[in-house]
Chains A and B, each alone.
Chain A
Amino acid sequence: MNVRLYLWQRLTAALMLPLVLVHLALIFYAMRKGLTAADILSRTRGSVAWAVFYGVFVVAAAVHAPIGLRTVLAEWSPLGPRTRDLAAIAFGLLLLVLGLRAVAAVVLP
């Protein structure tokens, strides 16, 4: 962990604070109203707002999680520095691809 990685991790963390709160509120709301897949998708399909909200969330998570993972690998696993960096980058790409695909799945009309 150096100052550059630290900056990006703390920045995405701060960005995700309100996003997580909204997400948790949404989960509770959906449960309360007993929403089905059709209900949820009818609200998200074609919505620019949801696309932006979850798109930003996915990108932030795809930056934040790998940096944390890299530190955990450095402190708790026997892997070398190159392997750790590659594993973190690979994980970030996985989250980005799967995440944006999921966003597309629910917002594309």
Chain B
Amino acid sequence: MTTATLDVSVWRGGAQGRYETYQVPLRENQTVLDVVTWVQRNLDATLSYRFACRVGMCGSCAMTVNGRPRWTCRTHVAKVAKHGRLTIAPLENLPVIKDLAADMTPFFEKWQAAKGVFAPSKTREQPVEQITPDNAARRAADAGIECINCGVCYAACDTVRWNSDYLGPAALNRAWTLVNDVRDAGNAARLTAVAAAGGCHACHSHQSCQEHCPLALNPTASIAGLKRRTLQAYLRGEIKP
């Protein structure tokens, strides 16, 4: 009895490399991460890839599957393998370390450059800030706060691909959540950072980020918010690009 198989092309190598094809047994319930793991355990132990939780919480397993950036642990083979074929590559727009592992360093450097870091305004001696969940600023922050820095939006974004200065959807989305955090004291520096070349104004609203975000976040909307805030700040003379 022959089991059905999947033809899986996997990127091997670094920036220079090639696709190697493996035959993987097709199962009824199978994720792309299951497929990659099967290849590494049964066919080629030298295959490098990343994963951690396997259950769609950590974002470590993000890869390019049939041309789209996805979490491989949450991508069922049945949904994406047309005609029994799968092509798996590392995330786009990032340097490749080896095989399916991309280097997230530039992603996090841009996170820092967008000032995606909370700057406290109070000390422990002061009373805790009362924040109601239904005020407009908190709702705006909450809409983007679930980001786990998986890099899928960054990999999907063509503006990131075409403009090496562009901070990218994730970094700007985080900056927006902090701009809306009333406890944060870092807005002057943050708005200046996102109003510079490569900041929020470089976004063309392609919305590939929103289209691909596994948590259904909307960086385009966050970036639109940043465009409005920086414009206001600029017109008031609060920032000078």
Chain A residues with a Cβ under 8 A of chain B: 1-7, 71, 74-76
**Mostly helix, strand, loop or mixed at chain B's interface?**
helix
Contact status A7-B159, CB under 8 Å: no
- Residue among A3, A6, A71 with max Cβ neighbours from chain B (10 Å): A3
Residues of chain A within 8 A (CB-CB) of B230 are 3
Contact with A along B186-209 (1 / 0, CB 8 A): 000000000111010110000000
List 11 contacting pairs A-B, 8 Å CB cutoff, sorted by A. Answer: A2-B196, A2-B201, A2-B241, A3-B195, A3-B201, A3-B230, A3-B241, A4-B241, A5-B201, A6-B201, A7-B235
CB distance from A30 to the nearest CB of B (A): 35
Chain B residues with a Cβ under 8 A of chain A: 159, 162-163, 195-197, 199, 201-202, 227, 230-231, 234-235, 239, 241
Contact status A3-B162, CB under 8 Å: no
**Mostly helix, strand, loop or mixed at chain A's interface?**
helix
CB distance from B84 to the nearest CB of A (A): 37
Contact status B159-A1, CB under 8 Å: no
A2–B162 alpha-carbon span in the complex (Å): 16
Residues of chain A within 8 A (CB-CB) of B241 are 2-4
Residues of chain A within 8 A (CB-CB) of B162 are 74-76
Contact status B231-A7, CB under 8 Å: yes
Residues of chain B within 8 A (CB-CB) of A4 are 234, 241
A6–B241 alpha-carbon span in the complex (Å): 11
A104–B234 alpha-carbon span in the complex (Å): 36
